[in-house]
Amino acid sequence: MLKVCDLHVHYGAIHALKGLTLEINSGEIVALIGSNGAGKTTLLRTISGLIRPSAGSIEFTHRGQKCRLNKIETHKIVSLGLAQVPEGRMIFQNLSVLENLELGAYPSNNKKNLEEDLEKNFLLFPRLKERLKQNAGTLSGGEQQMLAISRALMSRPSLLLLDEPSLGIAPALVQQIFSKLVEINEMGTTIFLVEQDAFLALETAHRAYVLETGQFYTQGKAEELLHDSKIRQAYLGEVSA
């Protein structure tokens, strides 16, 4: 579904991503773990077209159609079926919850789908329905994350990118949100998840990539990585024997 090939990104003189190659298949939950500054957010922003790669290619297949995303503008990438829940949620705090959700459906602007998708999201996150007319800025962090995920789903993406969905959220809500992600995946949306909480990410995902300063350190099945001693030491806080 998504194929990234030898991707390089530069910020001026800084070589942020040094030749990343990865593939995400339809139906998967793939996690990307790594420490602060490894380049996780840069990778997601490049896939969404907010940052342009200096070399390499990004290929996205949607409904059998293959597109090279390298030069496509962000808003068009969204309408191709690739939505992102950005780091820090980026909710429109000056708008109501309903308006945020309606904006999620901005590319299609189809009234009938809108009603249907709103109902789907209310089933997923009933709390949003209670707060529909409320200003989105008044929601708690967890509720804002729910709203950010719902807003992204409103565009009916086939691939959903999530950047640190657990950031700044009460632990009890984090569990709830991650179980919803599994639900969303089971309903047919492929998920690519960036997460600093490696344990949480590996428990949720099928496969994972480990990013270290712009390069993949390793990759594999989430379960195997969860038992890999090096990974346990570096990312899961296990003291070496």
Partner 1 sequence: MTEFIQQLINGLAWGSIYALIALGYTMVYGILRLINFAHGEVYMIGAMTGYYAVHWGMGTGSLYHLLAVICIAMLVCSLLGWAIERAAYRPMRQAPRLNVLITAIGVSLFLQFSGQYIFGADPKPFPALIENKNVLDLHGVVLSNIQVTIFVSSIVLMLGLRYIVFNTQMGKAMRAVSYDHTASYLVGINVNRVISFTFILGSALAGAAGILVGLSNPTVNPLMGLMPGIKAFIAAVLGGIGNIPGALIGGLIMGVAETMVSGYLSGTYRDALAFIILIIILVVRPQGLLGKSTQEKV
Residues making contact with partner 1 (CB under 8 A): 48-50, 73-75, 78-79, 83-84, 86, 90-95, 99, 102-104, 106-107, 109, 151-152, 155
Strand pairing report for 55-62 and 82-85: unpaired
CB 231 within 8 Å of CB 198: yes
Chain centroid to Cα 108, Å, comes to 21
The Cα-based distances of 112 to 109, 115, 154 in angstroms read: 9, 6, 12
CB 153 within 8 Å of CB 121: yes
Kindly report the number of other CB atoms within 10 A of residue 6's CB atom: 13
Tokens of 56: 């390499």
Beta carbon of residue 116, minimum distance to partner 1 (angstroms, whole number):
18
CB 198 within 8 Å of CB 33: yes
Q: Which is nearer to partner 1, 135 or 215 (CB)?
A: 135
Residue 33 CA to residue 201 CA, distance in Å, equals 7
Q: Which is nearer to partner 1, 74 or 196 (CB)?
A: 74
Q: Which is nearer to partner 1, 138 or 229 (CB)?
A: 138
Q: Which is nearer to partner 1, 79 or 213 (CB)?
A: 79
Q: Which is nearer to partner 1, 80 or 210 (CB)?
A: 80
Beta carbon of residue 94, minimum distance to partner 1 (angstroms, whole number):
5
Beta carbon of residue 68, minimum distance to partner 1 (angstroms, whole number):
19
- Altogether, the residues listed in the chain come to a count of 241
Beta carbon of residue 163, minimum distance to partner 1 (angstroms, whole number):
10
Beta carbon of residue 109, minimum distance to partner 1 (angstroms, whole number):
6
Residue whose C-alpha is closest to residue 219's, from 65, 63, 17, 20 = 20
Beta carbon of residue 227, minimum distance to partner 1 (angstroms, whole number):
36
